A and B are shown apart, each in its own frame.
Chain A
């Protein structure tokens, strides 16, 4: 038939061909497998397509074999357990996936649908079965199954790793709490005898005369050592108490300028360094959101460190400023002091009782405390330092709320 004429003429001819379709031939050579069975599965009729797939002749199967015997054992079990009861219960099953076992032993994946016909008394009469060859589809399905199994395994591994992490985390939290209570107990238990020693020593000093001329400086050294122990204990108590407070105290929005000025004033009162100067610049980020005690302790320790570790012969100058960097609020404390050898000490900078300038009195707790407070607030610290030139601490607080610039411009205070 020519394509040009197709528009008008050929339709009747096509219709005619369809009506003349040989039903017997359609059944035998349909592009799917057909078979009919008794209710127990006994095969009574199979089409040529199915026989061709299986490699059997009709007499080899009809009345001799059951449908389920054409499946692999797994399929047969599935049929008996699931398909057969379902057929009896709802008279049909659809899209069941089985493997046919050919006469030569090889397998053919098929998708099966079946209906159960009943006689006039409602008794099961015959099962009509359609089978489709799904060789190609099965390959994709196997891929999918493998991928799913793989994903399941990964998920299980992940869940296990997660459990392990949670367990470790709980363990660490416990250890941390134990340590805190140990430190608290230790500092508390040490305080009493040291206080006694201090009192006894003062009393001894008042009442006893030492003939040896060297006794006096030795007594002074003893007093100094006692003082050091006391301040260490004091520091330890503070660390623990702060930690406990932090767990309860809410955060608030704090005006940086007035807050820092207050700290500077209190430092100035006990200042031994002459002519220390401060420069405050909070124009870019005037407020920070944090617990008041944390911010105080953090700034106080950083500022007092800047003064304590001033370079001999150079009046200390400390610049405190704030800025927004990305999502974080950055608080910077920059000094012109002795500096720290970061190449050597960077790893231990924030460890408890670690000291880098033994010639200067200190407890080794300030930076430990600062770091802990910042971590607690969800932030981190960066340090830059050059020995002999000075140090800059930058505290990054991700919880900082960006605030509009107010009138608080740069200010200079001198002491």
Chain B
């Protein structure tokens, strides 16, 4: 299996160190486009689509395998292995921040730093933990997704069911920016929003920067504080921006925070 094709991996930039960007739920690697140019001069930049999103191989989305975030973490590790990369910087947004944490626990040598953009180890409130949401809220989200996929799923489903002989459907899927198959989106939403990775946090040895928006409905400030407490070698930086995507709403501030955290990059190889 060609994992680079499966995860629609794109590599650019010039640098000795690699920086890998992993998108969050609801979009694909194109959501990094305001951020990545700032790293291409001094880093090799690696972008990928999680299986089930963007231009990844949708046929590879086996719901049983992808029923936990660990499978996506394995995919990220497989991509790094295929590219023969070690000691990379991984920038993960939202759910992929946790995917990055899981991957770095599993193969610490692959990572030098993690940048966790708007991360949350658990969205649903628990005893002694504020995630920001109740189970009923997540159910409502799934319903809202159903309502938004209504008129569309019938036409697009054949692509997902593995009929690549109908290129016009694939084209339609690709043209619809940040849209993916409703069945996959629904499943991935469930996996994302019902995940609980709090127990894994103390196992992380890789230094991590937590980048949080000051008004993020999905990852409230309490979640950022919780992460900083439980990730052994972490820093928390709160960006003065609203929403769950600081890399879109405050790209310059996001870039500056990452650069500041990583320090000067080694000179590109001669």
Contact = CB atoms under 8 A, between A and B. Distances in A.
A113 to B, nearest CB: 13
A75 B177 contact: no
Contacts of A72: 140, 144
A84 B245 CA distance: 8
B122 interface: no
Contacts of B26: 81-82, 85
A98 interface: yes
Nearest to A39: B249
State the main secondary structure of chain A at its contact with B.
Answer: helix
A39 B248 CA distance: 11
B245 A88 contact: yes
30 contacts: A40-B242, A40-B243, A40-B249, A73-B140, A73-B141, A74-B140, A77-B144, A78-B141, A80-B218, A81-B24, A81-B218, A84-B244, A84-B249, A85-B31, A85-B178, A86-B177, A86-B178, A88-B245, A88-B248, A88-B249, A89-B177, A90-B177, A97-B147, A97-B148, A97-B150, A124-B249, A141-B147, A141-B150, A145-B150, A148-B153
Contacts of A380: none
B142 interface: yes
A81 B242 contact: no
Contacts of B178: 82, 85-86, 89
Please provide the 10 A-B residue pairs with the shortest distance between their CB atoms, ordered closest to farther: A74-B140, A40-B242, A74-B144, A88-B248, A97-B147, A73-B137, A74-B141, A77-B141, A81-B26, A78-B144
Contacts of B136: 73
B93 to A, nearest CB: 10
Interface in A136-153: 138, 141, 144-145, 148
Interface in A84-122: 84-86, 88-90, 96-99
B121 to A, nearest CB: 17
A144 B140 contact: no
Contacts of B141: 73-74, 77-78
Nearest to B142: A74
A74 B150 contact: no
A76 interface: yes
Contacts of B245: 84-85, 88
Contacts of B140: 72-75, 77
A144 B137 CA distance: 23
B195 interface: no
Interface in B209-223: 215-218
Contacts of A124: 249
Given A41-B242, A80-B243, A86-B178, A68 B217 contact: yes
B200 interface: no
B263 to A, nearest CB: 29
Contacts, number: 95
Contacts of A141: 147, 150
B162 to A, nearest CB: 15
B107 interface: no
B243 A74 contact: no
Given A89-B31, A144-B150, 16 more contacts: A40-B241, A40-B242, A73-B133, A73-B141, A74-B144, A78-B148, A81-B24, A81-B218, A84-B244, A85-B27, A85-B243, A89-B33, A89-B178, A89-B248, A90-B177, A97-B148
Contacts of B25: 81
Interface residues of B, number: 36
A273 to B, nearest CB: 66
Nearest to A86: B178
Contacts of B243: 40-41, 80, 84-85
Contacts of B137: 73-74, 77
A96 B145 CA distance: 10
Name the residue in A81, A90, A98 with the highest tally of chain B Cβ atoms < 10 Å from its Cβ.
A81
Interface string B154-166: 0000000000000
Contacts of A78: 141, 144-145, 148
A112 to B, nearest CB: 10
A340 to B, nearest CB: 54
Name the residue in A84, A90, A98 with the highest tally of chain B Cβ atoms < 10 Å from its Cβ.
A84
B196 interface: no
Given A73-B137, A80-B217, A89 B242 contact: no
B30 interface: yes
Contacts of A97: 144, 147-148, 150
B146 interface: yes
B143 interface: yes
Contacts of B146: 145
A68 B153 CA distance: 25
B54 to A, nearest CB: 13
Nearest to A69: B217
A41 B216 CA distance: 12
A18 to B, nearest CB: 33
Contacts of B148: 78, 82, 96-97
B248 A85 contact: yes
A4 B27 CA distance: 60
B253 to A, nearest CB: 13
Contacts of B31: 85, 89
Given A85-B178, A86-B177, A88-B249, A75 B144 contact: yes
